[in-house]
A and B are shown apart, each in its own frame.
Chain A
Amino acid sequence: MTPSRTPPSAESAIERLARRSVAATGWLLLAVVAGFAWAVQAAPTDAMQGPIQKVLYVHAPCAFAAYLGFITTALAGAVYLWRRDAAWDRLAASAAEVGVVFCALVILSGPIWARGTWGQWWSWDLRLILTLLLFLIYLAYLLLRSFTEDDERTARFAAVYGMAGLVVIPLNYFAIRLAGGRTIHPENLERGSLGDGMGMPFALGVTVALVAFFHLLARRVELAGLQARAEHAEAEQQALAGAPPWPTP
């Protein structure tokens, strides 16, 4: 039984969806960013932490987007191994890139807030180590992709590693907690822990991060699809012209 695959010369359903949603998500992003900017400046200043607390509206939503990216990478990789359709691999790679960008934003925005509140840039806190490890795992994922030759092999190797990266998250969590990693990280996710008037900018921040995530992912997937089809067309043309399939000086 061979599951249906997208031929290399055609646009896959994922890429069609991505291409069609680029414009829509782009306009939506502009609209929510404007609303978000207004909501953040209108939000009350935290009595204890001062204006630095507003970093939260960017920091936590970016973390959600990063996790969404890594979960997408692992799931798309698993579907690739099952269906062997290169479009799923391109989705996995694109999601990993976007996820790494958001994870970098989390790791950069965190210390800005921490310096203002904890008085230090970094603390070996449970969630910080966990995020850092996740960041390193998916950076290694991208390195693995760039060090592997042959697209099909790259896709298989990356799919396996992407899945392992997701599986290890809970294990790392327990391991770090076991090693005495307490958390001094605020529990922002609990309902009602935000002050009055802070829920709205936070919700908008999450919306902005998710819309930005889907917009970047759609663009990246569209680009990856175009790239793959261009390479395929080039190889075909060279085969037709009888030229060797490698660049001649």
Chain B
Amino acid sequence: MNVLLAVLWKDLVTEWRRRDRMAAMLVFALLVVVIFFLAAPAGSEAASRTHLPGLLWVAYLFAALLGLERAFAQELENDALSLLALAPADRGWIYLGKAGATLVMLLVLQGLCALAFALAFGLDLRPVALPLAGVALLGAVGVCAAGTLFSAVAARTAWGQVLLPLLLLPLLVPVLLGAVRATAALLDGEALPRDALQLLVVTDAVFLILSFATFEYVLDE
């Protein structure tokens, strides 16, 4: 448990001092949105509105991939990862610490992105802010759970930056679909769909358990 907090604190402090990962993720997420809207045919305001939840989540996901890639790549500098692996605790805790730090960054990113979306498309998110934050949290947990594990894998392969999206995107389909559906329902002023929430919770749990149990084999040197 102490290892978890230590790794979490270390990652957050490092990020706070450099702020490069967060900045890159945020700029990239906004760019994805801008590029998508420029690519969409002009004058399809109504059609683009139906695509908003999907667009929002694709932007999160792509930006998260960018941040996840750095999560372990930075540990390779000065061979920090080998020293981290020496920590006298179950390596699952190291995993949870790394995943937790990425989760905090992703939540900040989601908050800022949602704000930008609300301003750009004239959405009033205030009435649904709380459930929307809950959905964002559930989705972010799933992305970080699987993402942190395979970020550790991809960082130590040739072409890790290329490999990470290939490994991760097909696994994150349940998170994406569940989160998009829940977000769409909220933006339409409907109640939260139970089935989407169940899917998100189950997927998060499965990824967390799988990653916690197998992280040991990913770090083993």
Contact = CB atoms under 8 A, between A and B. Distances in A.
Interface of A: 81, 133, 136-137, 140, 143-144, 147-149, 153, 156-157, 159-161, 163-165, 167-168, 171-172, 174-176, 178-179
Contact of A164 (B158, B171, B173): B171
Give the interface centre of A136, A157, A175 by most chain B CB atoms within 10 Å.
A175
Contact of A175 (B150, B166, B178, B217): B178
A202 B98 CA distance: 51
Question: What DSSP secondary structure best describes chain B's contact surface?
Answer: helix
Interface in B95-123: none
B170 A167 contact: no
Chain B contact patch, size range = 20 to 34
CB-based closest 4 A-B pairs: A175-B174, A171-B174, A175-B177, A147-B157
Contacts, number: 86
A86 to B, nearest CB: 14
Contacts of B206: 167, 171
A167 B210 contact: yes
A225 to B, nearest CB: 23
Question: What DSSP secondary structure best describes chain A's contact surface?
Answer: helix
A148 B150 CA distance: 13
Interface string B164-200: 0011001101101110110000000000000110010
A165 B196 CA distance: 21
Interface string B142-165: 000010011001001111100100
A59 B210 CA distance: 33
A160 B173 CA distance: 18
B178 A153 contact: no
A156 B220 contact: yes
Given A167-B210, A175-B199, A178-B199, A160 B149 contact: yes
Contacts of B82: none
B27 interface: no
